[in-house]
Structures are given as C-alpha cells and as structure tokens.
Structure 1
Amino acid sequence: MASDYHRGEMDISEQVATYDGFMLMTKWGSLAIAVAVLMPTLWFCTNAGFFGGLAGGVVTAVVGILLLRDKKPAEH
C-alpha cells in the first residue's frame, strides 16, 4: 500500500477551497465581532451615548472593510 502513494500527485483543490473559506470567515467574522463589541461598550460604558457608539462602530466597520477587502494583484 505504501508504494501506491506518490508525493505531489493528489488533487488538493477541495482543501485549498476549505482553507480559503475558513480564512475569509475568520477575517470578516473578526471585524463583525470587533464592531459588535465596540458599539455597546461605547454606548454603555462611556459618556459617548448611543450616537457615539454608533459613530465609532460605523467608522470601525468602514475602515475595516477598506483594509480587509481583497486587493487586485498588480499587473506588470
């Protein structure tokens, strides 16, 4: 049985797709959690109030989206 294995000949497209999906969910999920924690923290734990928490959450979301979006590879 060991002689049937040949290194590098296996199709790994499903593993690559699973890894890419996991990384995508981790990236965007982390941003969502950060915004979801920041908004009520600013709202209830500081003097910022509801609109201060909302503004902080929106700013964090927009900056996070701009930084985390997929960048196009540079063409030479």
Structure 2
Amino acid sequence: MAADHSGDYHKGEMDIHEQAATFDMFTGMAKWGSLVIAVGLLFFTVWFAVKGAGFIPAAISAFVVAVVGFLALKKGANAH
C-alpha cells in the first residue's frame, strides 16, 4: 500500500506573509510597549521617590528617555 504524499510539506513553497506580518506586529508592540513602560516607571519613580524632585523634573527626565528611546527604536535605526 502506497500512501499519497501529495500534501506533504515542501520547503519554500508556503505563503508566509501572514506569519511574517504577525511576527512584525508582535515585535513592534513588544519594543514600543517596553519603551512606554520604562518611561512611565521613570516618571513615577522620579516624581514620588526622589527627594526634592517633583512633577517638572520627572516630566523632563521621562521626555528625554522617550525621545532617546524613540530614536533608538525607530524602524531605520537598526534595520538589517
């Protein structure tokens, strides 16, 4: 008895556009979400935990980290 192997996987023949788009979306959300969390943690840490600092120093430090993070994470910065 011979099995029909017409449905077997053949390397390089699958359309992977959907998987690639999902992977790109996941990595993008992970990196930008990490930046948002880092900026938020820095803002609230400086605002509430640093003696003598208040809202303005916390906002300035969070803004600086947000700008540097944006420049580091934007699409063209580390494209292979």
Shorter-normalised TM-score: what interval?
A: 0.7 to 0.9
Letter paired with 2:30: T
The aligned residue for residue 56 of structure 2 is 51
Q: 1:40 Cα deviation (Å)?
A: 0.8
> Any residues of structure 2 matched to 1:9-48 within 5 Å, and which?
9-46=13-50, 47-48=52-53
The aligned residue for residue 66 of structure 2 is 61
User: For the residues of structure 1 that align with 2:67 and 2:20, how far apart are their CA atoms?
Assistant: 29
Query: Where does the alignment leave 5 or more consecutive residues of structure 2 unmatched?
Result: none
| Percent of residue pairs bearing the same amino acid type | 48
TM-score, normalising length from structure 1? Answer: 0.86
SS of residue paired to 1:61 = helix
TM-score, normalising length from structure 2? Answer: 0.82
Letter paired with 1:68: L
Shift >4 Å, 4+ stretches? none
* CA deviation string 1:4-51 (max 9, x = no partner): 122221111100000000011011110000011110100000022111
Paired residue total: 73
Query: Where does the alignment leave 5 or more consecutive residues of structure 1 unmatched?
Result: none
Superposed CA RMSD in Å reads 1.8
User: For the residues of structure 1 that align with 2:67 and 2:73, how far apart are their CA atoms?
Assistant: 10
